[in-house]
Amino acid sequence: MNNDQCCVVSCNKPLDQNYWDGQYKAKSTGWDLGQVSPAIKEYIDTLQNKNCSILIPGCGNTYEAEYLLQQGFTNITVIDIAPTLVENIKQKFVGNSNIKIIHGDFFEHQAQYDLIIEQTFFCALPPTMRQKYVWKMHQLLVKDGILGGLLFNRSFELGPPFGGRQEEYEKLFNSAFDFLKIDVAQNSIAPRANSELFFEFKKNSSVKVNLYQFEGMACESSLTTATTNFEGLNDVLNTSMSTNFTEVLIVSKKEILIEELQKAISYDEKYSITKSY
């Protein structure tokens, strides 16, 4: 389909299980290409180890998994929060032991993977969850594991999908991952030409990637000082705060004491920081 938008119900509703299940029940899946994305297909064709463990989060109708199976891959996991969709794909792959299909919340999933394929999952999440996305991806990958796929390189008036730009992504993933590739996809379908980035990031296993709850900040004008203070601490490599100012992603060479982080924001008595996980 040419229309990437979904949203058959009010976009003011939470983007939760009920929302996404409603999209599949209403067959309002404008993001669904009806085939594996050409860029991801080309990438899959370069993979040599057919037994590597692969995760596809927010899998949708998962043409990627179908193509992987056709190419002989044997260890595929897909996860989605929408029960109607999950039942459909369970029927689609019934009896196939090379794929595991999970109905559940990606952020509660516990496992380890060699490769995670990103295809319209990142853009379906509220932008406030992007720091949590980076943290969880880092957690789920094995040492030197790969996160690869497509990100939108454009903005949308309404969402989902929610877009972004290359410089935003590079700041968000900086230090938690090594950038092997990030560039405009050369083989997107026509409606998405020049609006997709293909990326391949390798987990940086030598760093600590932690997510923290942040309280007390109410506006963007205060953001720069807080993040600058965090990044001024010894061993901190990168800091990123969510757009609603409630979560902070901190990448560091070693574990930073919570007392040090709190001290960095002690200039405002309203601010407090606690570790999320």
Which of the pair, 21 or 136, is modelled with greater confidence? 136
pLDDT in the model for residue 10: 39
Query: From residue 72, how far is each of 44, 49, 51, 93 by CA, in Å?
Result: 11, 10, 9, 14
Query: From residue 219, how far is each of 171, 246, 270, 274 by CA, in Å?
Result: 20, 11, 13, 19
pLDDT digits (tens, 9 = 90+) for 231-255: 999 999 999 999 999 999 999 999 9
Looking only at the bridges linking them, the beta strands covering 99-103 and 141-152 are unpaired
Nearest-10 crossing angle of helices 166-173, 130-140: 50
DSSP states along 131-175: HHHHHHHHHHEEEEEEEEEEEE-S--SSSSS----HHHHHHHHBT
User: What average pLDDT is seen over the chain?
Assistant: 93
pLDDT digits (tens, 9 = 90+) for 52-88: 999 999 999 999 999 999 999 999 999 999 999 999 9
Nearest-10 crossing angle of helices 83-92, 17-25: 60
Q: What is the C-alpha separation between 99 and 120, in angstroms, rounded?
A: 20
Structure tokens at 72: 């002989």
- Other beta carbons within 10 Å of 44: 20
Helix (H, G, I), strand (E, B) or coil at 107: helix
Please choose, from the candidates 86, 150, 136, the residue with its C-alpha nearest in 3D space to the C-alpha of residue 106.
136
pLDDT in the model for residue 255: 97
pLDDT in the model for residue 7: 46
Structure tokens at 55: 């995760």
- Other beta carbons within 10 Å of 202: 16
Looking only at the bridges linking them, the beta strands covering 76-80 and 99-103 are parallel
Would you say residue 4 has pLDDT above 70? no
Mean pLDDT within 114-128: 96
pLDDT in the model for residue 134: 98
Please choose, from the candidates 131, 120, 139, the residue with its C-alpha nearest in 3D space to the C-alpha of residue 80.
120
Report whether 150 contacts 39 (CB < 8 A): yes
pLDDT in the model for residue 8: 41
Which of the pair, 22 or 266, is modelled with greater confidence? 266
Sign of CA dihedral 199, 204, 210, 214: negative
DSSP states along 191-218: GGTTSEEEEEEEE-TTSEEEEEEEES--
Helix (H, G, I), strand (E, B) or coil at 122: helix
Contacts of 222 (CB under 8 A, 6+ apart): 268
Which of the pair, 14 or 183, is modelled with greater confidence? 183
Q: Whole-model pTM above 0.85?
A: yes
pLDDT digits (tens, 9 = 90+) for 39-62: 999 999 999 999 999 999 999 999
Mean pLDDT within 223-229: 95
